[in-house]
Amino acid sequence: MHEWALAESVICTISDEINKNNLSRISRVTLKIGELQQIDIEIFRFAIDTVLESYELAVDKASIVLETEPCTLKCNTCESEWSFKEHMRKMQEDDAEAIHFIPEIAHTYIRCPSCGSPDFNIRKGRGVWIESIEGEV
Amino acid sequence: MIDPRLHIISKRLGGIKRIIAVSGSKGGIGKSTVASALALCMAKNGCRTGLLDLDLSGPSTHVILGAEGLYPKEDKGLVPPEIHGIKYMSIIYFSGNNPSPLRGQDISNIIIELLTITIWGQLDVLILDMPPGISDSILDIIRLIKRMEFLVVTTPSKIAIDVMKKELRILVELNIPVIGILENMRTKEFSALPDKISDLSIPLLGSINLDESIEDAMGNADKLIKTVFFGQLEKLFIEQIKDSRYA
């Protein structure tokens, strides 16, 4: 249910952008959902639609599009790259849940598969962000 | 690309009357102990109090308060559990007792995420246990939390005072309100601090003596409340507490 907090941040941002740019109509909002945060897409979609109604914005639900992005991690020590999916399969449920709440907690539970270092970058697919908001004045 | 989390933080903190950042540039000056004790003190005196441990590289308020077996409740975000009347949030719910080797960007992201997903509700005061130093995480916190007041902790050590003065100059330059300076672990009868900070227009709130019994009270809030340290802190902050309660 923590998806609701993130969904509200998205709708709040759309509202701010409408006001900032005097938009009369939103044609498309593209959201990227990074794999590392393991967002439940169904819950998130439902939360987005429900929060949108409560904000009473002139935005069609269908104009908010969700796209998932795979997560890639890169070791700062040996420069290996690997996907979070590889780790996901062998992770404890509690560890995966901690990363769900705070994606950077990956540094606590994941090590580079090549050299064992905890020093890696989350190159892409971290969490929720808005790629674009398209609309008309 | 837009980070939506930045747009909700002021709303998440909207039900909080005062936000006090307990800061101090040097490590080992008792900053986390002061933050934890101040939160206990506020709660004990009837303030609706929250405590957020933002020292992500070395969280320790959970050890001081004896916060074990707690976990936030999920309700359209994360609702912090209560301990000794304090709504308490820390990274340790997620990292446990494991080390978290984090770079600056990771720390910034964690701070933003915690501020986005934590549902504090209505509070009289939120105490922040700040990381040491004047790092990017401090700058992020200043950028993200607009209504903060700083309480700056130091010890009588020349080194601690020298580093503290640098922090204070930055806070003054950024127009951040500073409640004052708290001298912790005083060992001599008369404090030399007033002379050393006379060039700054920041009030000295007072001094707390070095209390060797404090180590025995770690992890036990009932014992902590009975220490000389706590009594002196409560006395120094009674007016601040009244201000927070009736603000």
pLDDT along chain B (247 residues), means of 10: 96 96 90 97 95 95 96 96 98 93 94 97 97 85 93 94 92 93 90 85 92 95 96 90 71
Selection from B19, B65, B28 nearest residue B184 by Cα: B28
| CB proximity B69 to A under 8 Å | no
What CA–CA distances, in Å, run from B15 to A97, B11, B45, B76, B104?
28, 8, 19, 16, 29
What CATH code would you report for B4-246?
3.40.50.300
Nearest to B8 among A9, A107, A122 (CB): A9
Residue A96 pLDDT exceeds 70: yes
**Which chain B residues are within 8 Å of A119, Cβ to Cβ?**
101, 103
**Structure token digits, residue B240:** 């601040």
The per-residue pLDDT for A1 is 67
What CA–CA distances, in Å, run from B189 to A130, B156, B207, B208, B210?
58, 12, 10, 11, 11
- Record: contact A105-B7, CB cut-off 8 A: no
Residue A130 pLDDT exceeds 70: yes
| CB proximity B89 to A under 8 Å | no
- Record: contact B94-A6, CB cut-off 8 A: no
- Minimal Cα–Cα distance from A28 to chain B, Å? 14
pTM for this prediction: 0.95
CATH 3.30.70.1380 fits A3-136, yes or no: no
- Beta carbons within 10 angstroms of residue B99's beta carbon: 11
B23 — phi, psi (to 5°)?
Answer: -130, 170
- Record: contact B101-A98, CB cut-off 8 A: no
Selection from B56, B85, B60 nearest residue B219 by Cα: B60
The per-residue pLDDT for A69 is 97
Residue A66: Cβ-neighbour burial (10 angstroms; 0-12, 13-18, 19+): middle
- Minimal Cα–Cα distance from A56 to chain B, Å? 17
Residues in CB range of B3: below 8 A, 6 or more apart: A129, A130, B112
The predicted model gives A75-87 an average pLDDT of 94
ipTM of the complex: 0.95
Tens-place pLDDT, residues B179-237: 999 999 998 887 788 888 888 889 999 999 999 999 999 999 999 999 999 999 999 98
- Record: contact A129-B114, CB cut-off 8 A: no
- Record: contact B95-A98, CB cut-off 8 A: yes
Looking only at the bridges linking them, the beta strands covering A120-124 and A72-75 are: antiparallel
Tens-place pLDDT, residues A41-62: 999 999 999 999 999 898 999 9
The per-residue pLDDT for A87 is 83
Residue A119 pLDDT exceeds 70: yes
Residue A72 pLDDT exceeds 90: yes
Question: Is residue B53 within 8 Å of B129, Cβ to Cβ?
Answer: yes
Run of H or E residues at B8: none
The per-residue pLDDT for B244 is 75
Q: Counting one residue from A and one from B, how many pairs have CB atoms under 8 Å apart?
A: 97
DSSP string spanning A63-132? Answer: GEEEEEE--EEEETTT--EEEHHHHHTT--HHHHHHHHH-GGGHHHH---TTT--S-EEEEE--SEEEEE
The per-residue pLDDT for A16 is 97
The predicted model gives A72-89 an average pLDDT of 93
